[in-house]
Amino acid sequence: MVRRHELSDAEWAVLSRLLPSSGTAGRPRSDDRLVLNGIVWKLRTGSAWRDVPERYGSWQTLYTRFRRWALDGTFSRMLRAVQAEKDAAGDIDWLVSVDSTIVRAHQHAAGGKRARQDEAGDHALGRSRGGLSTKVHLACDGRGRPLGFVLSGGNANDCTRLEKVMDSISVPRVGSGRPRSRPDHVVADKGYSSRKIRAYLRRRGIPHTIPERADQILGRLNRSTRGGRPPGFDRCIYRRRNVVERCFNRLKQWRGLATRYDKTRESYQAAVTIASIMLWI
């Protein structure tokens, strides 16, 4: 019987193919499905590692496995593999929506050490009006599934992270060829309306639908009696931007994501990656 917050048989059938092998030397490691169930239970409920039920084994084992797979990129490779399979089946809508969401950081998220070489010096925490927080900058496909994301402090401006978000999109080909990183179209709100962003998207040959801010419209009108040439704006395409809002809503159903408890960037990024994988499968 599958308990609440545990992997279904269909989900395990997909994930089991993507996990790294345990090797042959040394003591056999704990059952992967049991460990993944414990990790998923912890992230879905937002509980502390020490409060994970004993049926999943030692909480130290769960945490150690989670940290190891977070630092060696296992979760990121799993996400890319799932995306590659969907792309090969023609199941990715490449009309991409970009936006960000603020995540309030719990007091336990503060104080992460920065001495380790395998961790970033910046743990993506910043002071915003809501206090200590993290911002998740995300690009999703036309069906509301995450293609790529980056983290920053909650005080970061959205437009300063768009290029990094676009760089985070890298869907491998099942056969030969370079990973796909260029959307068919990009949709974003007024927070991404800037000359630099529009020039960047034009350089990459990416059509975009981004409304202008009121001050930009006024400035354009003041520069010419005819008002200059307004950028193309398709309202029908822009209405599809709400898929990114629905994506954030689904991610934040995981209580361990809706509030950040992790001290390090790597741990919180791994948590978002795991939730993203579950949205794809």
CA-CA distance, 151 to 112, in Å (whole number)?
A: 16
Q: Which two tokens stand for residue 279?
A: 């949205």
CA-CA distance, 112 to 41, in Å (whole number)?
A: 23
Q: Which of 145, 76, 131, 122 is nearest to 102 (CA)?
A: 131
Query: Average pLDDT, stretch 177-196?
Result: 92
Average pLDDT, the chain: 87
Output phi, psi for 208, to 5 deg: -145, 155
Burial-class residue 163 by CB neighbours within 10 Å (0-12, 13-18, 19+): middle
pTM higher than 0.85? yes
DSSP designation for 123: -
CA-CA distance, 42 to 45, in Å (whole number)?
A: 5
Q: Helices 59-71 and 265-280: crossing angle, nearest 10°?
A: 90
Report residue 116's pLDDT band, with 50, 70 and 90 as the boundaries.
very low
Q: What is the pLDDT of residue 114?
A: 59
Q: What are the chain's domains?
A: 9-20+27-71 (no CATH), 93-261 (3.30.420)
Q: What is the pLDDT of residues 131-179, one digit of tens each?
A: 889 999 999 999 999 999 999 998 888 899 999 999 999 999 987 789 9
Output phi, psi for 110, to 5 deg: -80, 155
Q: What is the pLDDT of residues 222-277, one digit of tens each?
A: 666 555 555 567 888 999 999 999 999 999 999 999 999 998 999 999 999 999 99
Give the 3-state secondary structure percentages of the chain, helix then strand then coil, rounded to 5.
Answer: 45, 15, 40
